[in-house]
Amino acid sequence: MAIILVRAASPGLSDGAVGHHQVHGSLQGSSQLLKTRVPPRRWMLCSLRYACLGLQPGEEVGRTSAVYSSLAVNPAGEAVVSSEQKVYDVVLKQAALLKRQLRTPPVLDVRPQQLDMPRSGLKEAYARCGEICQEYAKTFYLEERRRAIWAIYVWCRRTDELVDGPNANYITPTALDRWEKRLEDLFAGRPYDMLDAALSDTISRFPIDIQPFRDMIEGMRSDLRKARYKNFDELYMYCYYVAGTVGLMSVPVMGIAPESKATTESVYSAALALGIANQLTNILRDVGEDARRGRVYLPQDELAQAGLSDEDIFYGVVTNRWRNFMKQQIKRARMFFEEAERGVTELSQASRWPVWASLLLYRQILDEIEANDYNNFTRRAYVGKGKKLLALPVAYGKSLLLPVSLRNSQT
Ligand SMILES: CC(C)=CCC/C(C)=C/CC/C(C)=C/CC/C(C)=C/[C@@H]1[C@@H](COP(=O)(O)OP(=O)(O)O)[C@]1(C)CC/C=C(\C)CC/C=C(\C)CCC=C(C)C
Ligand SMILES: [Mn+2]
């Protein structure tokens, strides 16, 4: 048995630290697909996130267990780099870009003056983004950097509408390729319409990279061709594409508190975790709705281990098996929220309140699923107005707290 060292990509291991991950085989590098033979049914776990599935880090498990780790094993018994590790490589790249651009004057593809648009036109473009945000996302963002977040939000919403909106039936992979071309153009300072112009302007002002945007389009592509997820590793990748990317797009705009002692990588990891947590919550809330569209996002192997199948979901009866299964899924979503919490305090002061508000509100959907006795087949978990209002002062209070990194360094 070999002992390998893997960069800490998992919650529970301190940031940037190196964890001892024991596997039967050896592992080098991280981004390439690794094909290391491991004897079937015998490998060690490394992620604390396993604990939520009733396992301990370092515990030995069989191949069929519902697990999640920096390492995954394919059906041939080969170790491959997991989705978490692949996504963490994106996190590292984004963090490096942000650090480089903060150190040196920004060398961006687009500068505001390059945009062939009068100031009044841009003002109107941002105002329209603001209106769209008010229609869809009443709790999102206030203050200074809000226009930039509006522009990102509107691009994300439009991207999602391509596959979920009224014209979704006509959307083909080619249409998504065209949307990606448009994205490249707006990053190069050639916006196609007014809303793209707002985003062009935003990326000229903040150190935002194109990759998370491209990856979100990739997520929409996968929605066109895929309606089942074999295991959590596959689901994790999907969640990164459609939601984790939002966290990566937002950090350069929201900014890290100047007094924060946290590493840029850890803040990006927390932002990624918030996107994943939100999307997992979305999925758990919308089980019935998705099933009516022929979609089951829940990991097939975990369903099978719980003695459940697609039929149980289409049938839609809440049984004890279903309740127990849901409890585990909710537990995992909450762990991602917990991981995200550690990063919110590190954001710049003005950004903390809206992020806390969104985190607390979204997480409450999980409480509502429990309150509905896990009936997410025919009842939509909904956070009432009263609870929503109550979350705002709580979020405000939390936003005043010192960054965790600073609190720890002062004790
Ligand atoms: C350090 C730290 C914690 C920083 C904060 C980072 C941050 C702001 C993270 C944001 C996370 C977030 C809001 C993710 C969005 C998750 C989400 C709901 C994705 C949805 C995808 C598709 O799912 P589906 O089709 O199943 O869902 P619907 O039924 O259609 O709802 C999305 C719809 C993708 C599109 C995403 C958006 C429209 C939201 C974009 C939001 C922003 C840019 C604003 C983020 C700002 C704040 C204050 C949260
Ligand atoms: Mn959608």
**In this structure, which residues have their CB less than 5 angstroms from ion ligand 2?**
160, 164
Class of domain 86-410 (CATH, top level): mainly alpha
Residue nearest to atom 19 of ligand 1 (CA): 243
Q: Is the pLDDT of residue 332 over 80?
A: yes
Say how many Å lie between the CA of residue 114 and the centre of ligand 1.
30
Is any ligand 1 atom within 6 A of the Cβ of residue 344? yes
Is any ligand 1 atom within 6 A of the Cβ of residue 359? no
Three-point CA angle 383, 388, 393, nearest 5°: 155
User: Is the confidence metric ipTM above 0.95 for this complex?
Assistant: yes
Helices (H), 137-193: 146-164, 173-187
How confident is the model over 370-381, as pLDDT tens digits? 999 999 999 999
Q: Where are the domains of the chain?
A: 2-81, 86-410
Q: Which atom of ligand 1 is nearest to the CA of 290?
A: 26
Place of tokens 């391509």: 162
Task: Report which of 8, 203, 218 is spatially closest to residue 110, judged by C-alpha positions.
Answer: 203
How confident is the model over 134-168, as pLDDT tens digits? 666 544 444 558 899 999 999 999 999 999 988 88
Q: Which atom of ligand 1 is nearest to the CA of 289?
A: 29
List the structure tokens of 302: 């975990």
Is any ligand 1 atom within 6 A of the Cβ of residue 391? no
Rounded distance, CA 183 to CA 179, Å?
6
- What average pLDDT does the segment 181-195 reach? 96
Mode of pairing for the β-strands spanning 36-37 and 71-73: unpaired
Say how many Å lie between the CA of residue 350 and the centre of ligand 1.
19
Residue nearest to atom 39 of ligand 1 (CA): 153
For position 406, what pLDDT does the model report?
74
Rounded distance, CA 46 to CA 60, Å?
10
Q: Is the pLDDT of residue 61 over 50?
A: no
